[in-house]
Amino acid sequence: MTLLPEVESAILDAVRRDHRRRARSRTSKLRSVPLRAPLIALALLLGTTTIALAASGVILTGAPVSVRAHLEPTVGYGIPTPGKSRLLPLRAPDPAGGLPWGMRVVHTTRGYLCVQIGRVDHGQLGELGIDGAFHDDGRFHALPVDAFPKDVSLEQGFNIECNQEAQTTFAGEIVGLQPNAASNARTGSPANRREISFGLLGPKAIRIAYHSGSQTHTGKLLRGLGAYLIVQRATSDRQPGSISIGFTFGNATLPARPNGALTAIGYRYGTKTCTDTGQEEILRACGLPEGPPPKPAPLPASHEPLRVHLSVRHHVVTAAVVSFRAPYPVTSARESYILEAHACHGGDAIQGSKRNLAKAATVRIAIGLALSRGCSGPMRFTAKYRRGLDGINDFTSLGAVTVHIPPGDRAKPLPSRPPRSRWMRERLREARRSGAHR
């Protein structure tokens, strides 16, 4: 007798499917019986060769990591811009030896800059078939250039981190990646976890210091981008899977601050050098302007009528959309249209468009989630156009509309899993930054 029939049925159906898949796999193996003996001989030969090659520091190559299909260049993060991905000439040794770690920068068609982390073999970034990845085939699997791996969600980010290009300096940290660098990082033993500190600190960064155990070391910095990569064993008190990014605005009024293993970052501005240890008032120490950056020239005013479409089924609002004409184009992730409303228990409910739009095209933004988070009663939505200028967001108000749910009907309950993606957190962060304009 089960407590939760829905869970039991979902699990046992999955087990059944897995058994069917295994049975099919066994059948296909039996069909190839005449080839089995030669294949076994070949496998033994390859196995022996792998061991021999591994011992001599050479590793066999397996199939490339599967890539994500069906991505659109004008939606969400976009797709990698062909020819603009670059494996940086920066290598970090693994604490256990073997292939070094490296990082690749990937520019996307929507103006994101992503940093991808992996092991490097013959100038290629990739993952290793060890610790449960790739059926432990012991091979190197290249991460294809100009494509995103299939198993990684860019929003969750594990061995890849994406930020808008305007925010190109950051100091990040990944705790929990395994020596295999696998995108689906739930493989391997917790004892093998790596703590990877990486970042792009920009051309003003000239040196870094980082801690390793109780000691402090000076790290390598790739001049120009200010890139660095440090790989250490994760200490037991660090939680697996966490990623934290201390990024900054592109106009250098707020340089990236030490994060992860970094204890200090040295900068040079003109003839002045200064060191940020995370404690001091770095802006003053570096002689940087401390006030807010100058506001950009406002866009010409535009007032757009907002239309609301509610779909109601069995007295529940199953879909809700606000639409209006786009007075300005959206050409990358630096621009977007958003709708703001006050959520029920404080804070803002923000919904936004995640795709490029031509001027005068129709903007459609779903507000179902905002309605679910709102209090009962009418909810007022304000439409705004956001443009990122040197990392600073500027907002232009376009109009407002009040949404009334018809008497007797109600908003759809919140989903069991809150769909609060990194994209949504970015919007919330933007809204907080834009506090001054309201």
- The residues facing 172 across adjacent strands are 198, 245
**Cβ proximity of 128 and 117 under 8 Å:** no
**CA gap 425, 436 in Å, rounded:** 19
Closest CA to 128 of 177, 92, 166, 163: 177
Minimum CB–partner distance for residue 5 and other proteins (Å): 7
Closer to other proteins by Cβ: residue 22 or 295: 22
Minimum CB–partner distance for residue 413 and other proteins (Å): 9
Give the pairing type, strands 160-164 and 227-233.
unpaired
Provide the 10 A C-beta neighbour count for residue 210: 20
**Cβ proximity of 115 and 108 under 8 Å:** no
Buried b / exposed e along 279-297 (16+ C-beta atoms within 10 A): eeebbeebebeeeeeeeee
Q: What is the dihedral of CA 424, 426, 431, 436, to 10 degrees?
A: 180
Closer to other proteins by Cβ: residue 1 or 96: 1
Closer to other proteins by Cβ: residue 15 or 319: 15
Minimum CB–partner distance for residue 427 and other proteins (Å): 14
Minimum CB–partner distance for residue 237 and other proteins (Å): 11
Minimum CB–partner distance for residue 185 and other proteins (Å): 8
Tokens (6 digits) for 68:
């994500």
Provide the 10 A C-beta neighbour count for residue 188: 19
Closer to other proteins by Cβ: residue 215 or 416: 416
Closer to other proteins by Cβ: residue 19 or 284: 19
Closer to other proteins by Cβ: residue 11 or 35: 11
DSSP state, residue 416: S
Minimum CB–partner distance for residue 138 and other proteins (Å): 17
Minimum CB–partner distance for residue 4 and other proteins (Å): 5
Tokens (6 digits) for 157:
């980010």
**Cβ proximity of 77 and 356 under 8 Å:** no
Minimum CB–partner distance for residue 398 and other proteins (Å): 30
Buried b / exposed e along 37-65 (16+ C-beta atoms within 10 A): eeeeeeeeeeeeebeeeeeeeebeebebb
| Positions in the binding site for other proteins (CB under 8 A) | 1-8, 10-19, 22, 156, 184, 186, 190, 239-242, 414-420
**CA gap 302, 166 in Å, rounded:** 26
Minimum CB–partner distance for residue 151 and other proteins (Å): 9
Closer to other proteins by Cβ: residue 289 or 415: 415
Closer to other proteins by Cβ: residue 64 or 132: 132
Closer to other proteins by Cβ: residue 10 or 44: 10
Q: Alpha carbon of 307 to those of 222, 261, 324, 369: distances in Å?
A: 51, 50, 6, 17
